[in-house]
Amino acid sequence: MKHLFELPSPFPAEPGLVRLLEPPDSDAAALAARLLAGRYDKPFVLENGGLRALHFSLGFVQSVMVIDHPALLALAYAQRMMACLLFNPRPRRITMLGLGGGSLASFCHRHLPAAELTALEIDPHVIALREHFGVPPDDARFRVVAGDGVQWIAAAQTRCDLLLVDAFGADGVAGALLEADFYEHARRHLGGRGVLVMNVAGARAGYAPHVARLLEVFDERVIAIPVREDGNHILFAFRDPAFAPRWHWLRSQALALQARLGLDFPAFAQQLEAGERQGHAQRLAR
């Protein structure tokens, strides 16, 4: 594992240890000043209390890992993203846009052994941190693809059952998703009953255009649920034109998934049903 430069956290409200992709002879004081001023231009790791977090800025936590349990989903938003398994409990192919700290990749690699996983990551510095977050090495059923995931999905010849989108920069949802008409390419990348799952956060003005485009491309077949613990919203978009959620079946499926994976799928099913009934996705787009 590559050694990272370490210094005490300079953030008054976030104690602990900061780890950086910097040479061992770096100026700690200068790095601390850049971090405090928001001028540090690489992802960094903040570690405290048995948790290891990936940041692009202090304002957004990209991923959190329980150091002793890398495959555990520590953040509520990541747990909610896995509610997509209610619609396809045993997916065969999963594509992930945005590796981050790899919590979703690690969870899926451990708990969905029959699935082929492809994680797309544009930032080489994020990939350089994969070992520090317990991301499994590439193997026959898992790979991390370095490069522009938006372009990769636009050119992909294969189809996936689940597309997990967790693509953030320092200021929120990546603007490139709109600029490249990513949502149309994403719809084509999904199989016939495929599900796109997307995490959005930050100022509503920043993510509302993404929600609106998703609703347009998927012909309103989008359900959104809030994640009050983290201040995020999770969107579920369905390719199947005949999609109609069978809530009674989903509630029974939730119990089986809870027993198998340990997450609160019954609560997720309730939130999804409430999100559809209340038109939460449509309200986020306004």
First to last CA, the chain: 46
> Could you tell me the CA-to-CA distances from 72 to 77, 138, 185 in Å, in that order?
13, 19, 31
Residue 151, number of CB atoms within 10 A of its CB: 15
CA distance 46 to 96: 24
Q: What letter would DSSP give residue 181? A: T
Residue 19, number of CB atoms within 10 A of its CB: 18
CA distance 143 to 132: 17
> Which candidate, 197, 201, 259, places its Cα nearest to that of 228?
201
> Looking at 166, 181, 230, 264, which residue is catalytic?
166
Is 166 catalytic? The answer is yes
Burial class (CB in 10 A: 0-12, 13-18, 19+), 267: middle
What tokens appear for 263 in the block?
């997450």
User: Which strands, in side-by-side order, build the sheet including 17-20?
Assistant: 5-8, 17-20, 44-48, 51-57, 60-66
Beta carbons of 52 and 133 less than 8 angstroms apart: yes
Which residue numbers are catalytic?
Answer: 166
